[in-house]
Chain A
């Protein structure tokens, strides 16, 4: 009976793979068939996104407005869970040849689909559309848009990590302004720490913040050859040492949970006043300000030797294998999402980067900027944007190598030097 169970269990996990491999060829045609009959109604296209809670409502509102604004295209807007969950579903869908038309894909995962020729080249649409000006987009956010001379994605919810701090708590501890350097950062974290309140909260489940600090210590994500980490030196050790120092002084708050769960736990702790300083995506700005009872300050990630910003967030991609009618509709929708007013509205409601001057100068964005003066913090960081390559192994390296040894060092007690050494050795194996 248990043997049977084991077989069943293995089958269950295999079923998805199976469905994928056998259905690969027919999927495209079927999808094309659905949209073909557009003569007696709007063309229906499917849009997947990863925005939960209030941001998700904003996405839905924007899509509803698009649907109401014209009668040719109807967009079905579907929430598929956070980037990791949505990435899982999209891979399964892609394997089954059953992809949606437009997807908000986390930037480091774009390359995977591009390398399999699954993404629609948007260049012909962009070039032939007089209403769309590709050059108006900020060059900084176009880093994940070109692949083999094809335009495979356009920026949508792009963000950088920023530092959030509890202005009231820092003031009470004698810090009238945001810490700018690591020394000030450490001093402020120490000063605000008292019973039940921690200075700084770091989500160890998400190595984005370790990498962000590493960049300000002068490191790079990949080395110049692109075959190993670019922080196999002091720059990789220093952030770990900083966190260790904070832990020794009792001012480091570590939220529980993994991946995006640790981030939401951390935001809850910050809003509850449990930790006074934290780092989160710039996209959390509106939500943190609106839900905290104290004044929320925002600043750049403090610098050790330089300011730096690690790219994050998502781009819009379209999948191949659909009919021309659907592709036209898809382009119409992507163009709408990238237009100044819509991108401006999206940025204004969240803290994501406005992706062009038109978005930055849109009425809705400027109006919100008056109310939320730090809304454009990420825009200034565009100057410090670092580039990241398209790399399939990145997800595994980020979680299973970098993330693992950050935890080994902070929770497990491994020395920072050893931790970075291990990261170097294990990352090397991916490229040998």
Chain B
């Protein structure tokens, strides 16, 4: 039919070219994102183990058993606490350290500190975890020997369910801090000096300058880094796997580790997929909230 919407030959070719160029990305997205996502939801409705040939359809049973499980509730709260602790501490420390390093005094010392802080970022997490497993040993670990030498009581670190999650978070913060400091320092250096000069002429106190000028000017970077840090803490796996295996008493078991354990160790991929779907929902909600909050708080130049 030749209507008003009919396209000329060249125009059609132009459009076809567009589709062709987009095709590789679309195909990859379908194969590696959309299809697995659908399969994740589909598989979460079945029982059986990884090698069962015909898994049984169980409906929402995997979800109900997850939601009824006290262990899973704990896993969810562990994940949230861990994320909150690492993201907040990392952000606060990163901003403070970056601001300090960015000041023009003690250039030599600053360079040294910067190197020291950044180095952990390039070490593999597994090595770092193994190292801290020794350092944090509750009885013979170096950290406790130091604490004792300074006259403090021994700290149980990974041995007690009350402190284990915090200890794992501490390692993550130690390792990740340098990377975030680097990003925030880059943002700090982009703030035009004229703004500071104006503040100086008005005799603005240093603290006020920091909160009224520095922070708003780097807020887009803080948003970006906090998003990245949240992502990283949601997917925490290697340090948990090496240092605690989710213990003691399930106190360091987080969502991704839980998914791994149920899929591969206990042979219940259905339940693991159900937990995967819950993780997906979780991350969607948190992302939404984070972006809503940031809309009102982030200042773009």
Contact = CB atoms under 8 A, between A and B. Distances in A.
Interface of A: 1-11, 13-18, 20, 24, 84, 87-88, 91-92, 94-95, 112-113, 116, 118, 204-205, 253-254, 256-259, 261, 274, 392, 395-396, 399-400, 404, 407-408, 411-412
Contacts of A88: 264-265
A13 B272 CA distance: 9
30 contacts: A2-B231, A4-B33, A9-B234, A9-B279, A10-B276, A10-B277, A10-B280, A13-B256, A14-B36, A14-B273, A17-B39, A17-B269, A87-B265, A91-B51, A91-B264, A92-B264, A94-B50, A112-B49, A112-B267, A116-B52, A116-B53, A205-B247, A257-B244, A392-B267, A396-B267, A396-B268, A404-B71, A407-B247, A407-B248, A411-B161
B140 A274 contact: yes
A213 B90 CA distance: 46
Contacts of B32: 11, 15
Nearest to A11: B36
Interface in B260-276: 260, 263-269, 272-273, 276
A2 B290 contact: yes
Contact of B283 (A3, A113, A395, A408): A3
Contacts of A259: 245
B121 interface: no
B40 A14 contact: yes
B52 A10 contact: no
B159 interface: yes
B56 interface: no
B256 to A, nearest CB: 7
B270 to A, nearest CB: 10
Contacts of A94: 50-51
B287 interface: yes
A23 to B, nearest CB: 12
Interface stretch (B3-11, B131-139, B201-209): B131-139
B160 A411 contact: yes
B265 A18 contact: no
Nearest to B34: A7
SS class of chain A's interface: helix, strand, loop or mixed?
helix
Interface in B143-159: 158-159
Nearest to B281: A6
Contacts of B138: 256
Contacts of B280: 6-7, 10
A256 B137 contact: yes
A118 B51 contact: yes
A417 to B, nearest CB: 18
B36 A256 contact: no
Name the residue among B40, B50, B276 with the largest chain A CB count within 10 angstroms: B50
Name the residue among B36, B137, B230, B272 with the largest chain A CB count within 10 angstroms: B36
Contacts of B259: 13
A3 B272 CA distance: 19
A276 to B, nearest CB: 15
A249 B227 CA distance: 49
Contacts of B243: 257
Contacts of B273: 14, 17
Nearest to B259: A13
A9 B283 CA distance: 11
A205 B37 contact: no
Name the residue among A112, A258, A259, A404 with the largest chain B CB count within 10 angstroms: A258
A1 B232 CA distance: 13
B51 A112 contact: yes
Contact of B248 (A253, A399, A411): A411
B249 interface: yes
B299 to A, nearest CB: 20
Contacts of A17: 39, 43, 50, 263, 269, 273
A100 B24 CA distance: 35
B23 interface: no
B284 interface: yes
Contacts of B227: 1-2
B91 to A, nearest CB: 16
Contacts of B71: 400, 404
A407 B245 CA distance: 14
Contacts of B264: 87-88, 91-92
B279 A258 contact: no
A118 B280 CA distance: 34
A257 B266 contact: no
B50 A258 contact: no
Interface string B223-252: 000010011001100000011111111100
Contacts of A407: 247-249
Nearest to A87: B265
A361 to B, nearest CB: 40
Contact of B50 (A2, A7, A92, A256): A92
A200 B247 CA distance: 21
B27 to A, nearest CB: 15
A20 B264 CA distance: 13
B37 A10 contact: yes
A256 B49 CA distance: 30
B247 A258 contact: yes
A16 B50 CA distance: 10
Contacts of B245: 205, 257-259, 261
B286 interface: yes
Contact of A204 (B49, B50, B234, B248): B248
